[in-house]
Amino acid sequence: MNYNTQNAKIASITEKTLIIGIDVGSETHYARAFSWRNYEYSKKPFAFSNDEAGFAAFKEWMDDIAEKLEMEVIIPGMEPTGHYWLNLGAYLQAQGMKPVHVNPHHVKKSKELDDNNPSKNDRKDPKTIAGLVNEGRFSYPYIPTGIYAEIRNLSNLRIQTQEEITRIKNRMARWFSIYFPEIKDVYRNPDAVSGLMVIKQAALPCDIRELGVEGVNKIWRDARLKGAGIKRATTLVTAAEHSIGNTEAPRSARKEIRNLLEDYEGYKKRMDELMEEIEKTLSEIPYIDKLMKINGIGIKTVSCFIAEVGDIGRFDNPKQVQKLAGYAIVADSSGKHNGESRISHRGRKRLRYYLHSEVGQIMTTKLERISELSKQHPEMKFNSIGHLINIEMLKECHYKMDGRKAVGIDGISKEEYNSNLDNNLKQLVEKLKNKSYRPRPARKVEMPKENGKTRPLSIYSYEDKLVQEAL
């Protein structure tokens, strides 16, 4: 991917470039043509429909203008308005053009420059969009093709299916809280397999009481279900006998939970089929085996990563993926926030979520395993756990720190540490890895309480607080 600077984008627009501003709509699009000096060649907005005939007429209109004016390059610019631009963008790309995107927020703010009026209309917006393209304020959209388009669609289907499953589970939890609230004392999760088996045949507490312990246990035995027996059946029946659940409208209540169970099983089956298809499709990616070898990373994460990033070979630098996810570091250089850094959050939200959750999960799992081993084997000694902490993890901890609190015993505040953040964290990680890191002794102070007594407070250095937060 060629992430050009704004100057490079401006330089790519010459006197032989025809700029087309397009206002994308659900059924009808509007376009205007401009030169590199923002001189308009179109007498009025060209309207074309969102179909094959409309696209062909639009291309013929652009080609006529380009031929008359001896233009060599056509740059169509548009806002990424929902999904309406996708077919038009793919068509233009297939015709050998490079459609570009402008930020809708920039369009909204820029449209008042000409007439000091925030109004929106089909004539005004294409001009504003073309003006932003002319200034180099655009980006090149990535439209996946082939196997990468398949993975993106499959990943989206999986996420949509998971959202439906979550909604159904929430509705099931609501139903249980109304008609059988005591079931939470028997099952931690409302979708437990053994519990749903019983609810299918005996939905309400009165039905479970009538079924009895032997009847409940028979359901599980007939299904050859392991892990559920007389003890669990007794607990379930006892909970039903002491239930305070609503007893009104039992027929509709039974109908409601059975409908929910049917929907739940249907979506679970759909999810299993999607996961099989995703796994099969991922096997066609050349580098998939390398991604799957990363500890703690599974098919869901890999599929989402490829769905959002596409062909990773189009990137020249890992920082480009970081920027795409919205993890680029930005800093304020004026006012009271001078020197403070933060992540931009300007990128693909879903990619950022998965990168954050999976990296955090990997680190948490490793640290939890160490905690578990230390409890099971008090005599066990760990030479070092510093290798589990990296720069990205410490940087996230740094951003979470409250900069309003008093400075530590080293006299360094969050703002001061932030002024040379990357170098500071690099040195800290090196000390952790080579085992030369030594926490400073904390200063003990007594803080007064409202009742006249005091409470002890330990004051640490800033880096010690970072390491503590990481662990």
pLDDT band at 380 (very low <50, low <70, confident <90, very high): low
356 vs 156, residue with greater confidence: 156
Quick one: average pLDDT of 9-38? 93
10 Å Cβ neighbour count for 257?
20
Give me the pLDDT at residue 437, please.
74
- Give 411's contacts (C-beta < 8 A, 6+ positions apart): none
Please choose, from the candidates 468, 465, 471, 463, the residue with its C-alpha nearest in 3D space to the C-alpha of residue 424: 463
Give me the pLDDT at residue 379, please.
59
Quick one: average pLDDT of 358-387? 52
Give me the pLDDT at residue 3, please.
45
Give me the pLDDT at residue 374, please.
52
Residues 125/20, Cβ–Cβ less than 8 Å: no
Tens of pLDDT, residue by residue over 154-168, are: 999 999 999 999 999
Quick one: average pLDDT of 365-373? 49
- 405 has pLDDT over 80: no
453 vs 42, residue with greater confidence: 42
Residue 300: both structure tokens together: 């869901």
Q: Is the dihedral of CA 167, 171, 177, 181 positive or negative?
A: negative
pLDDT band at 364 (very low <50, low <70, confident <90, very high): very low
Give me the pLDDT at residue 363, please.
45
Tens of pLDDT, residue by residue over 43-68, are: 889 999 999 999 999 999 999 999 99
Tens of pLDDT, residue by residue over 254-297, are: 999 999 999 999 999 999 999 999 999 999 988 888 878 776 67
Give me the pLDDT at residue 464, please.
79
Quick one: average pLDDT of 377-392? 59
Provide the 3-class DSSP secondary structure of residue 39: coil
Quick one: average pLDDT of 70-88? 92
Please choose, from the candidates 398, 403, 395, 406, the residue with its C-alpha nearest in 3D space to the C-alpha of residue 459: 406
Tens of pLDDT, residue by residue over 325-347, are: 777 666 665 555 555 566 677 77
Ramachandran angles phi, psi of 38, nearest 5°: 65, 20
pLDDT band at 177 (very low <50, low <70, confident <90, very high): very high
Tens of pLDDT, residue by residue over 143-154, are: 888 999 999 999
Provide the 3-class DSSP secondary structure of residue 24: coil
pLDDT band at 389 (very low <50, low <70, confident <90, very high): low
CA 155 – CA 353 distance, rounded (Å): 14
- 360 has pLDDT over 60: no
Quick one: average pLDDT of 121-143? 88
Tens of pLDDT, residue by residue over 213-256, are: 999 999 999 988 887 889 999 999 999 999 999 999 999 999 99
Residue 267: both structure tokens together: 């979506």
179 vs 422, residue with greater confidence: 179
CA 58 – CA 90 distance, rounded (Å): 14
1 burial type by CB count under 10 A (0-12 exposed, 13-18 middle, 19+ buried):
middle
- 31 has pLDDT over 60: yes
Percentage of the chain with pLDDT > 70?
A: 85
pLDDT band at 2 (very low <50, low <70, confident <90, very high): very low
Residue 36: both structure tokens together: 């590199």
Cross-strand pairs, 18: 74
Residues 17/36, Cβ–Cβ less than 8 Å: yes
Which range among 70-84, 287-301, 348-362, 366-380 shows the weakest confidence by mean pLDDT?
Answer: 366-380
Give me the pLDDT at residue 346, please.
75
Quick one: average pLDDT of 336-363? 65
Quick one: average pLDDT of 371-384? 54
Per-chain mean pLDDT for the chain: 83
Alpha-carbon Rg for the chain in angstroms: 31
188 vs 328, residue with greater confidence: 188
pTM here? Answer: 0.67
Give me the pLDDT at residue 365, please.
47
Quick one: average pLDDT of 118-123? 70
Which range among 73-87, 158-172, 174-188, 328-342 shows the weakest confidence by mean pLDDT?
Answer: 328-342
179 vs 416, residue with greater confidence: 179
